[in-house]
Protein backbone atom coordinates (compact mmCIF):
# COMPACT_ATOMS: atom_id res chain seq x y z
CA UNK A 1 0.00 0.00 0.00
CA UNK A 2 1.54 3.39 -1.04
CA UNK A 3 2.31 5.86 1.76
CA UNK A 4 -0.31 8.49 2.47
CA UNK A 5 0.77 11.92 1.19
CA UNK A 6 1.07 14.43 4.01
CA UNK A 7 -0.20 18.00 3.63
CA UNK A 8 2.39 20.59 2.79
CA UNK A 9 3.90 22.87 5.41
CA UNK A 10 5.84 26.12 5.20
CA UNK A 11 8.90 24.34 6.58
CA UNK A 12 8.69 21.69 3.85
CA UNK A 13 8.10 24.28 1.13
CA UNK A 14 11.22 26.24 2.10
CA UNK A 15 13.41 23.22 1.35
CA UNK A 16 11.40 21.71 -1.49
CA UNK A 17 13.54 21.23 -4.62
CA UNK A 18 12.22 18.03 -6.26
CA UNK A 19 10.51 18.73 -9.61
CA UNK A 20 6.95 17.45 -9.91
CA UNK A 21 3.54 17.90 -8.30
CA UNK A 22 3.45 18.13 -4.52
CA UNK A 23 -0.13 17.80 -3.25
CA UNK A 24 -1.55 19.52 -0.18
CA UNK A 25 -5.11 18.20 -0.24
CA UNK A 26 -8.45 18.97 -1.86
CA UNK A 27 -6.85 19.09 -5.29
CA UNK A 28 -4.34 21.80 -4.34
CA UNK A 29 -0.73 21.16 -5.28
CA UNK A 30 2.54 22.99 -5.87
CA UNK A 31 4.16 22.24 -9.21
CA UNK A 32 7.95 22.51 -9.10
CA UNK A 33 9.65 22.78 -12.49
CA UNK A 34 13.21 21.98 -13.53
CA UNK A 35 13.78 25.72 -13.93
CA UNK A 36 13.08 26.27 -10.22
CA UNK A 37 9.55 27.53 -10.79
CA UNK A 38 7.01 27.03 -7.98
CA UNK A 39 3.43 27.25 -9.23
CA UNK A 40 0.23 26.74 -7.23
CA UNK A 41 -2.43 24.75 -9.08
CA UNK A 42 -5.86 23.36 -8.26
CA UNK A 43 -7.06 20.19 -9.95
CA UNK A 44 -10.87 19.96 -10.11
CA UNK A 45 -13.66 18.54 -12.23
CA UNK A 46 -16.51 20.49 -13.81
CA UNK A 47 -19.06 19.22 -16.28
CA UNK A 48 -17.38 15.83 -16.28
CA UNK A 49 -14.01 17.29 -17.35
CA UNK A 50 -10.82 17.56 -15.38
CA UNK A 51 -9.51 21.13 -15.22
CA UNK A 52 -6.66 23.17 -13.72
CA UNK A 53 -6.76 26.54 -12.02
CA UNK A 54 -3.63 28.65 -11.40
CA UNK A 55 -3.25 30.46 -8.07
CA UNK A 56 0.10 32.19 -8.58
CA UNK A 57 3.71 31.58 -7.64
CA UNK A 58 5.20 30.53 -4.32
CA UNK A 59 6.38 32.29 -2.11
CA UNK A 60 4.54 35.39 -3.43
CA UNK A 61 1.38 33.39 -2.75
CA UNK A 62 1.89 31.63 0.59
CA UNK A 63 0.57 28.22 1.54
CA UNK A 64 -2.12 29.85 3.67
CA UNK A 65 -3.24 32.10 0.80
CA UNK A 66 -3.27 29.18 -1.64
CA UNK A 67 -5.51 27.19 0.71
CA UNK A 68 -7.92 30.13 1.00
CA UNK A 69 -8.06 30.37 -2.80
CA UNK A 70 -8.72 26.61 -2.97
CA UNK A 71 -11.56 26.93 -0.47
CA UNK A 72 -13.09 29.81 -2.44
CA UNK A 73 -12.95 27.73 -5.62
CA UNK A 74 -14.58 24.80 -3.82
CA UNK A 75 -17.45 27.06 -2.71
CA UNK A 76 -17.92 28.23 -6.31
CA UNK A 77 -18.03 24.61 -7.47
CA UNK A 78 -20.57 23.80 -4.77
CA UNK A 79 -22.69 26.66 -6.09
CA UNK A 80 -22.63 25.21 -9.60
CA UNK A 81 -20.05 27.61 -11.09
CA UNK A 82 -16.78 26.86 -12.83
CA UNK A 83 -14.07 28.77 -10.88
CA UNK A 84 -11.81 28.83 -13.94
CA UNK A 85 -14.48 30.53 -16.06
CA UNK A 86 -15.28 32.98 -13.25
CA UNK A 87 -11.60 33.93 -13.04
CA UNK A 88 -11.41 34.38 -16.81
CA UNK A 89 -14.55 36.56 -16.81
CA UNK A 90 -13.13 38.68 -13.96
CA UNK A 91 -9.92 39.26 -15.95
CA UNK A 92 -11.88 40.32 -19.03
CA UNK A 93 -14.00 42.69 -16.93
CA UNK A 94 -10.91 44.21 -15.30
CA UNK A 95 -9.37 44.75 -18.73
CA UNK A 96 -12.57 46.31 -20.06
CA UNK A 97 -12.95 48.49 -16.94
CA UNK A 98 -9.39 49.74 -17.34
CA UNK A 99 -9.92 50.60 -21.02
CA UNK A 100 -13.18 52.37 -20.20
CA UNK A 101 -12.18 54.11 -16.98
CA UNK A 102 -13.06 57.77 -16.55
CA UNK A 103 -9.37 58.56 -17.04
CA UNK A 104 -9.10 56.61 -20.30
CA UNK A 105 -12.31 58.05 -21.75
CA UNK A 106 -11.40 61.59 -20.70
CA UNK A 107 -8.00 61.13 -22.37
CA UNK A 108 -9.73 59.97 -25.57
CA UNK A 109 -12.10 62.96 -25.48
CA UNK A 110 -9.23 65.41 -24.92
CA UNK A 111 -7.28 63.87 -27.81
CA UNK A 112 -10.35 64.19 -30.04
CA UNK A 113 -11.43 67.70 -29.03
CA UNK A 114 -7.88 68.94 -28.49
CA UNK A 115 -7.22 69.27 -32.21
CA UNK A 116 -9.08 72.59 -31.97
CA UNK A 117 -7.28 73.81 -28.84
CA UNK A 118 -4.04 75.62 -28.32
CA UNK A 119 -1.40 73.69 -26.32
CA UNK A 120 -1.92 76.08 -23.40
CA UNK A 121 -5.69 75.54 -23.39
CA UNK A 122 -5.26 71.76 -23.63
CA UNK A 123 -2.80 71.76 -20.73
CA UNK A 124 -5.21 73.85 -18.65
CA UNK A 125 -8.11 71.43 -19.24
CA UNK A 126 -5.97 68.38 -18.43
CA UNK A 127 -4.69 70.03 -15.24
CA UNK A 128 -8.28 70.75 -14.17
CA UNK A 129 -9.25 67.09 -14.63
CA UNK A 130 -6.15 65.85 -12.81
CA UNK A 131 -6.72 68.22 -9.89
CA UNK A 132 -10.49 68.00 -9.47
CA UNK A 133 -11.97 64.96 -11.26
CA UNK A 134 -9.53 62.05 -11.36
CA UNK A 135 -8.68 62.05 -7.62
CA UNK A 136 -12.39 61.91 -6.74
CA UNK A 137 -13.40 59.25 -9.26
CA UNK A 138 -10.12 57.36 -9.48
CA UNK A 139 -9.92 54.86 -12.32
CA UNK A 140 -13.53 53.71 -11.96
CA UNK A 141 -15.29 52.54 -15.14
CA UNK A 142 -17.24 55.43 -16.60
CA UNK A 143 -20.32 53.17 -16.77
CA UNK A 144 -20.35 52.97 -12.96
CA UNK A 145 -20.15 56.72 -12.34
CA UNK A 146 -23.48 58.33 -11.50
CA UNK A 147 -24.86 61.84 -11.71
CA UNK A 148 -24.62 61.98 -7.90
CA UNK A 149 -20.88 61.28 -8.06
CA UNK A 150 -20.35 64.18 -10.46
CA UNK A 151 -22.68 66.47 -8.53
CA UNK A 152 -20.61 65.86 -5.37
CA UNK A 153 -17.46 67.05 -7.17
CA UNK A 154 -19.19 70.19 -8.43
CA UNK A 155 -20.71 71.07 -5.05
CA UNK A 156 -17.34 70.61 -3.36
CA UNK A 157 -15.78 73.09 -5.80
CA UNK A 158 -18.61 75.52 -5.17
CA UNK A 159 -18.01 75.17 -1.44
CA UNK A 160 -14.42 76.29 -2.00
CA UNK A 161 -15.73 79.50 -3.55
CA UNK A 162 -14.74 78.70 -7.15
CA UNK A 163 -18.18 78.65 -8.76
CA UNK A 164 -16.90 79.61 -12.21
CA UNK A 165 -14.39 76.73 -12.14
CA UNK A 166 -17.14 74.36 -10.96
CA UNK A 167 -19.35 75.36 -13.88
CA UNK A 168 -16.58 74.89 -16.44
CA UNK A 169 -15.57 71.49 -15.04
CA UNK A 170 -19.17 70.30 -15.06
CA UNK A 171 -19.52 71.21 -18.73
CA UNK A 172 -16.30 69.34 -19.54
CA UNK A 173 -17.32 66.23 -17.61
CA UNK A 174 -20.62 66.35 -19.50
CA UNK A 175 -18.66 66.51 -22.75
CA UNK A 176 -16.67 63.40 -21.74
CA UNK A 177 -19.89 61.49 -21.01
CA UNK A 178 -21.47 62.69 -24.25
CA UNK A 179 -18.37 61.44 -26.10
CA UNK A 180 -18.63 58.09 -24.29
CA UNK A 181 -22.30 57.73 -25.27
CA UNK A 182 -21.63 58.63 -28.91
CA UNK A 183 -18.83 56.05 -29.10
CA UNK A 184 -21.00 53.43 -27.30
CA UNK A 185 -18.72 53.13 -24.28
CA UNK A 186 -21.86 53.69 -22.18
CA UNK A 187 -25.43 52.82 -23.15
CA UNK A 188 -26.81 56.22 -22.16
CA UNK A 189 -25.60 59.52 -20.74
CA UNK A 190 -26.56 59.88 -17.04
CA UNK A 191 -25.50 63.54 -17.06
CA UNK A 192 -27.89 64.75 -19.79
CA UNK A 193 -30.03 66.67 -17.30
CA UNK A 194 -27.17 67.82 -15.08
CA UNK A 195 -26.76 71.53 -15.85
CA UNK A 196 -24.94 74.23 -13.85
CA UNK A 197 -28.09 76.29 -13.26
CA UNK A 198 -29.78 73.42 -11.44
CA UNK A 199 -26.79 72.64 -9.22
CA UNK A 200 -24.89 75.84 -8.54
CA UNK A 201 -26.22 78.85 -6.71
CA UNK A 202 -26.64 82.02 -8.82
CA UNK A 203 -23.51 84.14 -8.76
CA UNK A 204 -23.32 87.91 -8.68
CA UNK A 205 -21.18 88.77 -11.66
CA UNK A 206 -19.96 92.32 -11.97
CA UNK A 207 -19.10 93.31 -15.52
CA UNK A 208 -15.66 94.76 -16.10
CA UNK A 209 -15.45 98.50 -15.82
CA UNK A 210 -15.95 100.28 -19.14
CA UNK A 211 -14.78 103.76 -20.08
CA UNK A 212 -17.73 106.00 -20.96
CA UNK A 213 -17.42 107.50 -24.46
CA UNK A 214 -17.53 111.03 -23.01
CA UNK A 215 -14.36 110.36 -21.01
CA UNK A 216 -12.38 109.03 -23.96
CA UNK A 217 -10.84 112.40 -25.07
CA UNK A 218 -9.53 113.06 -21.56
CA UNK A 219 -8.18 109.49 -21.31
CA UNK A 220 -6.31 109.90 -24.61
CA UNK A 221 -4.74 113.15 -23.38
CA UNK A 222 -3.56 111.41 -20.21
CA UNK A 223 -2.28 108.47 -22.24
CA UNK A 224 -0.31 110.81 -24.52
CA UNK A 225 1.32 112.34 -21.43
CA UNK A 226 2.02 108.93 -19.84
CA UNK A 227 5.76 108.65 -19.10
CA UNK A 228 5.78 105.08 -17.77
CA UNK A 229 6.97 101.93 -19.50
CA UNK A 230 6.87 102.43 -23.31
CA UNK A 231 5.59 98.88 -23.88
CA UNK A 232 2.60 99.57 -21.61
CA UNK A 233 2.01 102.91 -23.30
CA UNK A 234 2.04 101.41 -26.79
CA UNK A 235 -0.07 98.39 -25.75
CA UNK A 236 -2.77 100.71 -24.40
CA UNK A 237 -2.73 102.76 -27.61
CA UNK A 238 -3.04 99.55 -29.64
CA UNK A 239 -6.00 98.44 -27.52
CA UNK A 240 -7.77 101.75 -28.13
CA UNK A 241 -7.14 101.61 -31.88
CA UNK A 242 -8.06 97.96 -32.44
CA UNK A 243 -10.47 97.02 -29.59
CA UNK A 244 -8.95 93.52 -29.43
CA UNK A 245 -8.63 91.52 -26.23
CA UNK A 246 -5.73 92.30 -23.88
CA UNK A 247 -4.36 88.76 -24.29
CA UNK A 248 -4.17 89.22 -28.06
CA UNK A 249 -2.09 92.37 -27.58
CA UNK A 250 0.20 90.68 -25.06
CA UNK A 251 0.81 87.81 -27.46
CA UNK A 252 1.34 89.94 -30.56
CA UNK A 253 4.33 89.02 -32.76
CA UNK A 254 6.11 91.03 -35.42
CA UNK A 255 5.42 88.40 -38.08
CA UNK A 256 1.69 89.12 -37.66
CA UNK A 257 2.12 92.76 -38.66
CA UNK A 258 2.46 94.01 -42.24
CA UNK A 259 3.88 97.54 -41.90
CA UNK A 260 3.60 98.17 -45.64
CA UNK A 261 -0.15 97.55 -45.61
CA UNK A 262 -0.56 98.87 -42.05
CA UNK A 263 -2.41 95.68 -41.06
CA UNK A 264 -2.22 93.31 -38.11
CA UNK A 265 -3.46 89.78 -38.81
CA UNK A 266 -3.99 87.73 -35.63
CA UNK A 267 -3.76 83.96 -36.27
CA UNK A 268 -6.96 82.00 -35.60
CA UNK A 269 -5.30 79.90 -32.87
CA UNK A 270 -4.77 83.06 -30.78
CA UNK A 271 -8.37 84.22 -31.12
CA UNK A 272 -10.97 83.26 -28.51
CA UNK A 273 -13.31 81.65 -31.05
CA UNK A 274 -10.37 80.19 -33.03
CA UNK A 275 -11.47 82.08 -36.16
CA UNK A 276 -10.01 85.06 -37.99
Stretches where the chain sits below pLDDT 50 are: 1-3, 275-276
How many domains does the structure of the chain reveal? 3
pLDDT for the residue numbered 209: 75
User: 193 and 106 in one domain?
Assistant: yes
**Dihedral-angle region of residue 26 (phi above 0 means left; psi in -120 to 50 means alpha; beta otherwise):** left
Exposure string of 34-53, with b = 16+ CB inside 10 Å and e = fewer, is eeeebbbbbebebeeeeeeb
Of 18, 52, 86, the domain-final residue:
86
Task: Write out the DSSP string of 119-140.
Answer: HHHHHHHHHHHHHHTHHHHTT-
* Domain-located, residue 48: yes
235 and 195 co-located in one domain: no
Are the C-beta atoms of 120 and 167 separated by less than 8 Å? no
Is 165 strand, coil or helix?
helix
What's the CA gap between 136 and 130, in Å, rounded?
A: 10
Residues 77, 132: one domain?
Answer: no
Question: Quick one: pLDDT at residue 3?
Answer: 46
Residue 186 forms part of a structural domain: yes
Predicted local distance difference test score (pLDDT) of residue 205: 59
> pLDDT value at position 73?
95
Asked whether 48 and 33 are in contact (CB, 8 A), the reply is: no
pLDDT in tens, 131-190: 999 999 978 899 999 999 999 999 999 989 888 889 999 999 999 999 999 999 998 999
Domain assignment of residue 123, yes or no: yes
- Same domain? 56 vs 116: no
Residues 235 and 193 in one domain: no
Instruction: Assess whether 180 and 220 both reside in one domain.
Output: no
254 is a domain residue: yes
Domain limits for position 54: 10-86
Indicate whether 171 and 111 sit together in one domain: yes
- Which residue among 177, 199, 221 closes a domain? 199
Tell me, what DSSP letter sits at residue 101? Answer: B
- Structural domain includes residue 261: yes
Amino acid sequence: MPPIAMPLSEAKLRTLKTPGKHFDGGGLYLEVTNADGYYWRLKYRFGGKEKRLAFGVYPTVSLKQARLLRDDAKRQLAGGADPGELKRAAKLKAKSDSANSIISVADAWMAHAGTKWTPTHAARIRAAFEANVFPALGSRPISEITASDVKAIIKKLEGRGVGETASRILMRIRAVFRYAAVHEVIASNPLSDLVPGDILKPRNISPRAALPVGELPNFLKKLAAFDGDPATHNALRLLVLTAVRPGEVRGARWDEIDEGKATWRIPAERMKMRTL
